[in-house]
A and B are shown apart, each in its own frame.
Chain A
Amino acid sequence: MAESEKMICPRCGVEMNRHAEKVDYAAGLAEPEAVDPELGGVVEEFHTCPSCGQTLSRRAV
C-alpha cells in the first residue's frame, strides 16, 4: 500500500509516526461522501511525534 504523506509535528517540526487507524462510523452519517465504501465508515489516521509524544489525527486520504 502506498505510504501517505508524513505528518509533521507542529511543536517539534519532525516527522510523526503513523501507528493507528480507526473507522469512524458516526462521522459517515454527517459526511456520507467521506465514507470508504469497503470499510463502511470514515477512516481516521493517528500519528505520534517521536520527539514530544503528542498524537494527532487526520482523515485518511
Chain B
Amino acid sequence: MAGTRPLFIPVILGTSRQGRMSEHVARFVFGELSKRGGVETELIDIRELDFPTGDEGSTIKNAKFSETAMRADGFLLVVPEYNHGYPGLLKHALDTNLAEYIHKAVGICGVSAGPFGGTRVIQNLLPVMRELGLVTIFWDGNFSSVQNAFDASGELTETAYVRRLDKFFKELIWMAKVLRHGRENVGIEDE
C-alpha cells in the first residue's frame, strides 16, 4: 500500500574523475541517509553507468539507472564544482530520463576544494533540475575545503557536517513524502 512503502532516495555520485574527493562525501551522506527510518537508499556512481558518448538523451538509456530513477521518490546529488560548473558526464546521465523524475524531490550537496562549498555548481544545476521536472529543496549540503573534511581513508573528520546534514535530510524527506502524495493522489485538473 502506498502509505506503507518506504521512501526511496538514491544518492548519485556525479563525477567520474580519478581521485575524486566527492566519493568521500557521497559515501558519508549515503551512510547518514541509510540511518533514517522509513528511507531506503542506494549509492549510484555515474562512473559505473558507462553511458556511451556517441548519442544523448533517452536513446542511450541505461535500464538499471532508469528503473532506479523510476522507483525513487527523491534524489540526493553529490556534485563537485569544476570551473564553476557541473561535470558534463552527470548532465549526460541525467538527460537520459524524464518521466522518471517528474514531481520528485532533489537535494544537492556541492563539493569544492575552496571555501564556497559548491554553491556555484548548485546554482548552475537549479535550472537543469527544474527542466527535468525535479523539485529542489531549499537546503543544500556545502562541502567546502573538502580535502580537510575527511582523512585519507575517507572518514569524516569535521563532525559539524552531521548536524548540518540533519536539517538537509529532514527537508529532503519531507519534500519527497509530500510529492509522492501529490504524484499519486492530486490530479493536474483538480481544483
Contacts and interface: CB of A to CB of B under 8 A. Distances in A.
B184 A50 contact: yes
A58 B187 CA distance: 15
B188 A21 contact: yes
Given A19-B182, A53-B71, A1 B2 contact: no
A61 interface: no
Contacts of A50: 2, 184-185
How many A residues are at the interface, by size bracket?
10 to 19
A46 B184 CA distance: 11
Given A20-B102, A20-B133, A46-B99, A53 B186 contact: no
Contact of A48 (B1, B98, B184, B189): B184
A47 B2 CA distance: 15
Interface in A12-61: 17-22, 46, 48-51, 53-57
Contacts of A1: 189
Contacts of B98: 22, 57
A17 B2 contact: no
A46 B183 CA distance: 9
A5 interface: no
Contacts, number: 55
Interface in B150-191: 180, 182-189
Interface residues of B, number: 21
Nearest to B1: A51
Q: Residue among A3, A21, A46, A51 with the most chain B CB within 10 A?
A: A46
A19 B100 contact: no
A3 B188 CA distance: 10
B73 interface: yes
Interface in B82-117: 98-100, 102-103
B187 A17 contact: yes
Contact of A19 (B5, B70, B103): B103
7 contacts: A18-B188, A19-B182, A20-B133, A20-B188, A21-B188, A48-B184, A53-B73
Given A17-B187, A53-B5, A55-B102, 12 more contacts: A19-B103, A19-B182, A19-B183, A19-B186, A19-B188, A20-B102, A46-B99, A48-B103, A53-B184, A54-B70, A55-B100, A55-B183
